Amino acid sequence: PAGGPSAMAQAGVLLTEEPAPQAVPASDLPVKVCEVALNTGPDSSSGLATAGFRTAKYLLPEWRRSNSDLYHKASTGCEQAERGRAEAKELAEHAAATAQRAQQDSMATLGQRLQDIYFWKAELQKEIEDLDAETGLLAAQKLRLEKALDATKVPYAIATDNLQCRERRQPPDLVSDEVERELLKEAELIRNIQELLKRTLTQAGNQMRLNRDHKEVCEMDWSDKVETYNIDDKCGRYSNQSTNIQFHPGSVKFEESASTPETWAKFSHDNIYRAEREKLASINLRALIDNILHDVSEDLRMQCAAVNEAFAKRCEELDDTKHKLEHHLKKILKEIGDQEANIDALKEAIRDKEAPVKVAQTRLYDRSFRPNIELCRDEAQFRLISEAEELTESIESLKKKLLESEQSLRNLEDTRMNLEKEIAVKMNSIFIDRQKCMAHRTRYPVVLKLAGYQ
């Protein structure tokens, strides 16, 4: 008992330091069974009156030793309990500090993870918006291609109509001239342009499909990122005071299909890379479409100008030829009039010779009745015969000239008919080229329409 307080004091001092762990656990002391010796000595009382009071009694040293053992046991139990309480308190404080640090580390890790998710989510969202905008721009270019393709129908119809109209020219104007060559060149150019625009349309449609496919992939990735961000954000908001927390023992494990941070980042990076590549291809295709439409419209307008210039030159040439033919027709008509007057004069001259011939022949006829020797070949007879021959020769010459004049008049009439026919052919050609073809070509689309802007 004297050693108890000092031991307690020592235990109180030791409690300020970290207590050493107990090697032997505390347990209750065994009950001591005391064997009381029987009083059988010579001085003992063997009387019946004291026998009951002396049976099974403890001796005084035993009683004192028992009390001392109880004191020691109580002191040891207090020391052990105090040491255990100190250890429990320190362990609880250490566990609380460890839990708080782990929770703070988890919060920091979740925060960093949220930043990573937000970064990739923002990159994916930007790529989705860029792809969507690019697809819209490409759709506008595709619409321009469709409008340009529709706009080529009118020039092609004009070119083919011009060629068909010029087939109705009459010989000898049915020639393969510069206008026809330019029209054929224009029709071939338009066919080639239509094929080019159709191929470009197909390419634009395929590129739009690729843009939408990669946009859909990025949208799915973005959607997963949004869902994950919300989950991690919700996890970051949990605290020890939250009411919606509970035990989930089975969640403390890694999923077999879980990705690593490297594969996770590479997945989004690859999606953005592929989307960026398709976006760049779409931008290049739009630039190509711009160049194609610009070149197409310029080529068509240049060819249209070449055809119009060929038409203008041809019409000018036809006008000049028609004016020359009309001038020659005018001269022919005047010559025909003069020739008809000449024929009338020749006929009149032949008729005028009939009377002198009759006079000369009558004189010769009457002189042939001179009697006998009076039928003389005198000078008068010779002169009359010479006069009759001269008159006959003159009439023959006049008749011959009349025949020649009549043939010349027929030739002039044929020439007049040919000239009038040729003038009619030229007028028909001019009408076809100027009134039909050139008037039709005024409906040629403007450059803006050929470039797909209208």
Is the pLDDT higher at 279 or at 55?
Answer: 279
Q: Please give the Cα distance from 161 to 180 (Å, whole number).
A: 12
Mean pLDDT of 76-96: 92
**Count of positions (residues) in the chain:** 454
Buried b (16+ CB within 10 A) or exposed e, 168-195: ebeeebeeebbbbebbeebbebbeebbe
Inter-CA distances, 254 with 250, 251, 258, 260, 263, Å: 10, 8, 7, 11, 16
pLDDT band at 445 (very low <50, low <70, confident <90, very high): confident
Decide if 39 contacts 24 (C-beta within 8 A).
no
pLDDT score of 209 more than 70:
yes
Is the pLDDT higher at 113 or at 24?
Answer: 113
Mean pLDDT of 211-216: 94
Reference 211, options 130, 149, 155, 152; nearest CA is 130
Decide if 73 contacts 15 (C-beta within 8 A).
no
Determine what percent of the chain is predicted with pLDDT higher than 90: 64
pLDDT score of 3 more than 60:
no
**What's residue 11's pLDDT?**
39
Q: What is the pLDDT of residues 321-361, one digit of tens each?
A: 999 999 999 999 999 999 999 999 999 999 998 899 899 88
Q: What is the pLDDT of residues 214-244, one digit of tens each?
A: 999 999 999 999 999 999 898 888 888 888 8
Sole residue written with tokens 């000018």: 316
**What's residue 362's pLDDT?**
92
Mean per-residue pLDDT of the chain? 86
Question: Is it true that the peptide bond before 172 is cis, omega within 30 degrees of 0?
Answer: yes
Q: Please give the Cα distance from 311 to 308 (Å, whole number).
A: 5
Decide if 423 contacts 325 (C-beta within 8 A).
yes
Those residues with Cβ within 8 angstroms of residue 151's Cβ, 6 or more apart along the chain or in another chain: 445, 449, 450, 452, 454
**What's residue 12's pLDDT?**
40
pLDDT band at 15 (very low <50, low <70, confident <90, very high): very low
Show the tokens assigned to 315. 């019409």
Q: Please give the Cα distance from 252 to 139 (Å, whole number).
A: 50
Q: What is the pLDDT of residues 389-407, one digit of tens each?
A: 999 999 999 999 999 999 9
pLDDT band at 41 (very low <50, low <70, confident <90, very high): low
pLDDT score of 42 more than 60:
no
Q: Please give the Cα distance from 165 to 439 (Å, whole number).
A: 12
